Structure 1
Amino acid sequence: MSRSPYIRPEFEHELPPLRNLPVETPLPLSQRLWNQTWLRKCLIVFLVLVLWEIAARVQQNDLMLPGVLQTLRAFSEDMRNGELPEKIINSLSTLLKGYLAGSALALIASALAVTTQFGRDLLSTITAMLNPLPAIALLPLALLWFGLGNASLIFVLIHSVMWPVALNTWSGFSSVPETLRMAGRNYGLSGPRYVILILIPASLPAILSGLKIGWAFAWRTLIAAELVFGASSGEGGLGWYIFQNRNELFTDRVFAGLLTVIVIGLLAEGVVFSSLEKVTVKRWGMQR
């Protein structure tokens, strides 16, 4: 005797209407403004400028410490007469050549290290030998080998950029999960295609970190190197501008040159690298 299947009776619960719910009040304007990162950073810069102006007024010695307004006046004058723009273009053109060449060499060395045992031994050995060596220490050799000019500057810039970028890139390659590595091998990827399609996207946060460190090293090395090369050849960029005005005791223009270096560094960090992170690692959910 077959029994009919049990059918569960259907019923409907009528929910009471929602009343007297708390309404979320919008955040106060002050808190909404404080949540803006750019505003907080601008406030920090403003406080630094205020402290600088207070220190200059207490010092009361324009030769030792010019004020903010004096420095901005010198900056504006040299921007209008074309001296500062020319120095900025000279410095940035040389910097980009050395920075791009050093980054490319670092990426090639890291790719070779991740694909072959010999490349791994070569990168670890050469990095341990040359990374602690300051780029400024190579200035005499650069003068001897390449003479005066941009070639010597580019040589020391490549040295300052290559090792931090290579170390961070190699660290990023080493931290790629084995699951992604196996997925790449299952698709038949090897050699350059394996590096470009699997390792670089997976280790992009570490690569970008290395590029930012390399940029900072290159910027500092360039200014220091131009103090020597500019003084030797009579030409140069922002480093030579600072050196020349220091010799002529134009301290306000020295501070204007230093302010230009700081502004360019802030723009590179806040515009170039931040935009690159937003469209890549932050958009992909790899970084907060």
Structure 2
Amino acid sequence: MSEVLHRLPDEGLAHAPAALPPRRHRLARLFRSLAFRRPIVLALLALGWEIAARWQANPLMLPSFGETFQAFVDASLNDGLLLAAAGSLAVLLKGYLIAVLIGFALVSLAVSNSFVRDGVQTVAAMFNPLPAIALLPLALLWFGLGEKSLLFVLINAVIWPFALAALQGFEAVPETLRLVGRNYGLSGPAYIRHILVPAALPSLISGLRVGWAFAWRTLIAAELVFGVSSSSGGLGWFIFRARNELFTDRVFAGLATVILIGLLVEAVAFRGLESATVRRWGALR
């Protein structure tokens, strides 16, 4: 019996899986990292783009990646591409923040009042399927050519998807957490801030992300129509001018700028917010 007991730990160790060496463990974590894999995906897309452009051999229809990069550098230095992007972002952030504040106020009222909740859901069901750019003729009629029209269509693009996602997140809060809040005597804004918002944060972040995407595409589409934000054209207007002048490489440079800004906001703002909150808390993988 003693010999068997002495052999058991050795046999158990023999069958246990060997731990990865520290270097291999770090490499495995690196390969699982989005910051490592996303540049690889982008490099493969750029390579496929270059191959397709060389195969077609028609820069007017499809400039190569190298030609587009050169056009991006030239337009940034000499044609105000970065200024156009900054102007678009300034208008976008203003409309986005206004829409999020209005949407959060509506959802906060809807959480505590069933009539307001039904009203928000009904209005959102009406306007959420409607493309915000379809409201541009009304915006031009009511507010004229300028920033106010852009803000009007931006707010309509953001507020309804964000409100629906936030309301769904609040309604999905487990009853156990609600009872905990009531047992602590929380009510009103304190109940929303300490109980509902942390529990619904994954849905809130998802609504913010969807609202940002809707706002970005709506702004570019609106600028393609009339383009003027404040005293200068935005990024959409830059793309429109380049198309009129048959500078296809600059059209692609403008589109690439839209994509790069979207990737940057996704990686820094939304992924950073998730990492600092719901991923850290274990609510998301």
TM norm. shorter chain > 0.5? yes
CA distance 1:272–1:106, change in 2 (3 Å): same
Within 5 Å, give how 1:162-201 maps onto structure 2: 162-201=159-198
Equivalent residue for 2:202, pick from 184, 205, 211: 205
- Superposed displacement of residue 287, structure 1: 0.9
- The aligned counterpart of 1:237 is 234
Q: Which residue of 2 aligns with 1:40?
A: 37
Shift of 1:227: 0.8
> Which segment drifts farther, 81-90 or 226-235?
226-235
The answer to whether the 8 Å contact 1:56/1:66 transfers is: yes
Higher Rg of the two aligned structures: 1
Distance 2:46 2:93 in 1: 30
Of 53, 60, 65, the match for 2:62: 65
Distance 1:241 1:101 in 2: 26
- % identical equivalent positions: 56
**Partner residue in 2 for 1:266:** 263
Q: CA deviation at 1:229?
A: 2.1
Question: Hey, what's the Cα distance between the residues in 2 that align with 1:15 and 1:206?
Answer: 55
Distance 2:54 2:243 in 1: 21
Local SS of the residue matching 2:280: coil
CA distance in 1, matches of 2:26, 2:65: 31
Q: Which has the higher helix share?
A: 2
| Equivalent pair of 2:146/2:228 in contact (CA under 8 Å) | no
Aligned residue identity for 1:223: I
Name the SS of the counterpart of 2:278 in structure 1: coil
- Cα offset, 1:187, TM superposition: 2.0
Aligned partner of 1:166: which letter?
Answer: A
What does residue 217 of structure 1 align with?
Answer: 214
Aligned residues: 275
Please tell me the residue identity of whatever aligns with 1:126: V
Q: Residue type of the partner of 2:103? A: A
Alpha-carbon deviations, 1:8-49, whole Å to 9, x = none?
A: xxxxxx967966955545338975653333222211111111
> TM-score, structure 2 length as denominator?
0.90
1:74 counterpart = 2:71: yes
Deviation at 1:284, TM superposition (A): 1.1
Matched residue of 2:233: which SS? coil
Structure 1, 204-213 or 74-83: larger mean CA deviation: 74-83
Cα distance, 1:233 vs. partner?
9.1
Q: Give deviations 1:29-75, integer Å, cap 9, x for gaps.
A: 97565333322221111111111111111111111100000000010
Unpaired runs of 5+ residues, structure 1, are 1-13
> Residue 149 and residue 46 in structure 1: after superposition, are their counterparts in 2 closer, same or farther (change >3 A)?
same
